[in-house]
A and B are shown apart, each in its own frame.
Chain A
Amino acid sequence: MDLGALFANQKIKYCEIPPAETNENKIMSILYTNRSITHFNLNKYRDAAIDATRGLYSDITNKEAFIVRGKASLKMRNFESAYNDFIEALKLDPQSKYIFQLSNSTYYKIKEETVLNEIKTTKYSISNYQYYPLQRKVEKEFDFDAFSINDAKEICKIVQKFELPTKEVVYEILQRMCNLLNLLPNIVHIDDVKEVIVVGDTHGQLQDVLNIFKMFGYPTPERPYLFNGDFVDRGSQGLEILLILFAFKIADERCIYINRGNQYVFLI
């Protein structure tokens, strides 16, 4: 029984007062229940719940009152209260298949809400699903002996489309970086420039690095960038950031400077 289908536009039928009924409290209870039903049919669920409660004060064995109050609670998305009321109704009429189905559906609704809340409070994280994006490797070759800033921009374009260069290109870039860095001292002097842009931690956030280049231009020898470490980890496109920074470096040493951060292997 799907609660949604049940409640699309359902109006509740009124209860009849049995002609033989003489107990004033019971009659009062039925009257309150009917008024509660009126409120429900007019979509006034809080008033429906209040009147149903009055009905229950008059006669605690009035299962219809429990049912109406439960349905009103459902409408107000108070699934726990609804469930309790349906259980009480079920106790009063254990054979009722209808009440059983109501309480069952509510039970599953509560379970569903619990799971949704857990997901919202991030008890589940994306990493639990073991989903890793597949990225196409672009079969573009570069002449590394004549690697220019335009080639570096090509690498930017590749990663911008969420693709990757081939492994051969990556190894070539890394090898040339090693050769280049081997000649550098621990502390490098940057002279002969009037302006340097210093960029802090980027942590794999490629979209923000590309945004910086978009806002302030690609690296040039006249206005070089200095990336101050921590390019990888946490964000998920650290490797792409490395590739574009290294590409600019091997294209023209003076257009970008790269500082070591603490993004190295560190066994805790």
Chain B
Amino acid sequence: MAVKRRKVLLIYCGGVNLWPKPTPKFLQQLVRDFFQLQMVADVDTFFLWPGQGADINFTVWKKLVKTIASQVKKYDGFIVTHSLDHVLFTAAMISFLLQNLGKPIIFTGQIGRKIYQAMPLKSMLFETNLLNATVLATSNFCETVLFYGPRIIRATRGQWDYSSELDPFSSWQMNKLGNTQFSLSLSKEVRRKTTGKKIFFDFCHNIKILHPYPNFTLPYDLEKYEGVAVKGFLEKPLPENFPKLKIPVLVHSLTELPYKNNIITVSNCTWETAVTKFMWALAQTRDIKKLRKIMQTNYVGELK
């Protein structure tokens, strides 16, 4: 009995320095020539954006969501190439905007030069990574994941791993979802089935992000934003001189902190996930109690 051919959409969103000046035609030709991809799946391409991760913006995010949402019935899985820069934000936001899609979405790309030079093994080249990502996109699971090295990591649990020379990310407060040590293997924590598909196209991008430091001067015009996200206190939600704002204020901390008024504290997810979830939540409601509840509810396996 012949194995049913799976269909995968490869969405180019930057992230491959090996490909000089990529164009839609170049991408199609490359996939045609890289026939090993076609051995494991029928791979189509979509050229979304040619830029670098440092330049990624909300328009690209919206286009990415629309592209995947419009093609979800046609394809069994999706691969998104993305630079390492800001991929934690992009992948987390996609997780919230495309909930319970029932199909895998794999973020991958070429990892940086310094890391690349530390890998003498031919098996770790980008082509191998793309082949592995294609096989992963045909596998039976329903998650948005990061796949830049041997580890497969839930997008909303990704964190930078500066100790590893071979994989830029590790999994925050949970095991990795799988690896490619001996071919592809997925762990028990992987979500295989989902119900209640929800697709969102909106998120609030008018928020101010603050990274305080000693003697930090607060911006005076915070009220012009629709929300503020503050990174990293341990003992107190906010410094004494922080103004009382009418807009919601998200404080990300490593410990449980008390909250009051319109301050929402989170300590049970990564910073990138907290910010993107906040942006998504602000598009659903501006009521502080409801916002607080959303931030404490587990939607895509993002919370510890």
The reply to whether chain A is a binding partner of chain B is no
B residues bordering A, Cβ < 8 Å?
none
